[in-house]
Amino acid sequence: MFAYTLCFIRRDNHILMLNRAKAPWQGMWNGIGGKIDPGESPDTSMKREIAEEAGLNIEPVLRGCVTWNVDHARYGGMYVYTAELDIDIPYITPKKNDEGILDWKPISWVLDPENLGIVSNIPKFLPALFEEQRMYEHHCVYRGNRLVDYVRKQWAPNLIKG
């Protein structure tokens, strides 16, 4: 079991992104998520994180996982989710919270290869989360903070839902 969850909430052609106020990835745009508390399932953790960070009560869908190595050492992993927010539900941004600043960002902006303000692995795996039915393990290799390799393989989780 991984220690973290991460969710990308889509509304129309925008993703709700968090500009992180704290490490890791301080100052970078990322999804919403955090650490799984003791006794919590990944699904329960993800719902809690969305409620705490965004004030939303929506149903996230598990879409795979992201794992990584840093400087040749296996470092960690997280369950990655998506959620949809209906265009008719008002959600005005920017919105500040303890974790940083939430804002709707166009998907094209998030995926732009010239955009250096996004956590570097997100453009690698984000399209598959919304466009493909299969779940994948998205494995990232870092040298320091620099992404040097990305590989994905089909993933079949064995999770207890909760």
Question: Residues 53, 162, 131, CA angle at the centre, nearest 5°?
Answer: 65
Q: Given this model, what pLDDT does residue 162 score? A: 46
What's the distance, CA 113 to chain centroid?
18
Helix (H) or strand (E) holding 127: helix 122-131
In a domain, 20, yes or no: yes
Three-class SS of residue 1?
coil
pTM reported for the whole predicted model: 0.93
In a domain, 162, yes or no: no
Rg (CA), the chain: 15
| pLDDT tens string 51-78 | 999 999 999 999 999 999 988 777 789 9
How far separated are the first and last CA of the chain, in Å rounded? 14
Number of domains observed in the structure of the chain: 1
What's the distance, CA 32 to chain centroid?
6
Residue 24 pLDDT class (50, 70, 90 cuts): confident
Three-class SS of residue 25?
coil
Averaged pLDDT for residues 119-148: 94
Tokens of 38: 């003791």
Domain that holds residue 30: 4-154
CATH at residue 29 = 3.90.79.10
In a domain, 119, yes or no: yes
In a domain, 73, yes or no: yes
| pLDDT tens string 35-48 | 999 999 999 999 99
Q: Given this model, what pLDDT does residue 158 score? A: 67
**DSSP assignment of 68-106, as one string?**
EEETTEEEEEEEEEEEE--TTS---S-EEETTEEEEEEE
